[in-house]
Structure 1
Amino acid sequence: MTTDGRATHFDDLADEKAAGAAGLEVRPVAGHIGADIEGVDLAAGLDAAQVAVIRAAVLRWKVVFFRGQRLDHAGHVAFARRFGEPVVPRRRGSASPPDFPEVETTADRLELGGKFGMEHEEWLRRRRHTLLRGWHCDHGARVDPPAATILRAETVPPYGGDTTWSNLAAAYAGLSAPVREFVAGLRAEHRLGVGYQPRPGDDAYVRHLLDHQVASVHPLVRVHPETGERVLYVNGYYVEQITGLSRAESAAILDLLLAEATRPEYTVRFRWEPGSVAFWDNRATIHLAPSDNAHLGIPRTMHRVMLTGDVPAGVDGRPSQPVTGTEPGRW
């Protein structure tokens, strides 16, 4: 382990040789995050060597991309199972396929505002109270957020609709040494619905949040369970408060850390095409869904499978603690 928390076992030359032996090519696309993987048909199934190369690439580059794939729902789930146990969410919208409980469809989210008496754009506007609000890991308010997410594109607009990811291990390593030492001992509450601006009068979404609260206290710096890297575990979507600090202190430090976590040099942006697949480490990244395509009026249909994760642990070895509405393994 280096002094900045970066694991030292990554060996790009060895990974390149392993990829070649498995018939794959792993091509990094940005300096700190993201790689294209070529030479594989995910629908045809993977052998053990290919699984090992893809797993290593996800750990090394945090998000990997496959293009021109022919996966259906069954193939999507089968691919996910080679890397872990798929999550089976309790609540999905009507657009998700009923015969594949592991698969969620992004069109479901377009229903959410309507369920609470709002147009989708108003619902988004009320939830995003800062410019960095949309950056998130998947289900970060849970005590055991998913380990990874595999997202597949079915229908996308001809332009717009890109997704951006950021490498939280690189963000932590990029902090100055005194700040790294300071934040490594802190913990923060992650809560569903943080910062939502209620509608005047009775707000059905507020009642929904109160009835379905999910919150956990996570280390502000978690140790990655596979790589040993220290990860700046912060995002704009769920983080409520750094525990033990005043609200003013907490807000200032969170703003600083989130600005650091989303610096352009730690990010990669992906242009989707039908058949594209992105596979990312949800423990070491945050991502930003697009907001530049709604006015185009062209469907953007994506399908998501998440892999079961563990309970994060901090630098001191202490695990995350549930606050409400969450316990390991229960969805």
Structure 2
Amino acid sequence: MTEKTNYYDAINWNELPDEVDKLAWEKLTSQFWLDTRIPISNDLDDWAALSPQEKELVQRVFGGLTLLDTMQSESGIEHIRKDIRTPQEEAVLNNIQFMESVHAKSYSSIFSTLNTMKEIEEIFEWTNNNEFLQKKAKLINEVYLYGDGLQKKVASVFLESFLFYSGFYTPLYYLGNNKLPNVAEVIKLIIRDEFVHGTYIGYKFQLSYQEQSEEEQERLKMWTYNYLYELYENEVQYAHQLYDGMGWTEDVIKYMNYNANVALKNLGFDPLFLETEEDVNPIIMNGISTSTNNHDFFSQVGNGYLMGEVEPMSEDDYHLFDE
């Protein structure tokens, strides 16, 4: 018998255990972008016209998104990487991890353009001490640290496909009202990335989930819904804190509910909330459009985002990962 001598294996992209890895890599690399390419300074006049209350909302929303993207780039992908199914999957996750860092930096580019140094310090002081943001980060990161491989993927999908969206509401609202279009363009690029991240990791979850026994599947499904309830309860309180003063909370929660259903579908589970695209404020959908039934990355996923002016996804894109 010949003794195995290889110390380290090279990734061979010409032998693919899972074709979806190559499709995901090609999609993500074709979407590559940097915040420095967006003329955020063109929004300075719109920014100056906002009320102090509106400015504070935008600042706090982006502060919260910065914290979540930072955690995902530093902790989330690092722990998900430990349970890869294929060598190529690790390369895709490396790409995702880098783009999460780009997302986090993008908010700082917005801050440096629109805010003074004193205001930026206040934004991060608020972010790093907000009880609901810190609880959200703890609920996600504890699963990354102590959960099993499937639970980590659930946490990631809930973050990418659900928890970001209470923050995304604000720039999309202003875009729908013809304000801060370049700031919103950054958010649209981030949403486009997060859509692929959520569907890809959800797909990998489904592959492993289907290999479990019926008893284990049921246990994990119950854990997933219970975990969502815990995250959701905190997220509703966060939405009230941010949006009650603007009178937007009810609309934001509808948008959150809709995206919670998207996250569940990415995992292959039934929706929990009644909200559909039609229940979301049409002003929000002015910046993005969603489609169901035929437009999906995977046959198990019924909803997906079609970006507006930033390299719109085509019909073929939504079947990109179909087998």
TM-score by length of 1: 0.27
Give 1 or 2: higher strand fraction.
Answer: 1
Give 1 or 2: higher helix fraction.
Answer: 2
TM-score by length of 2: 0.27
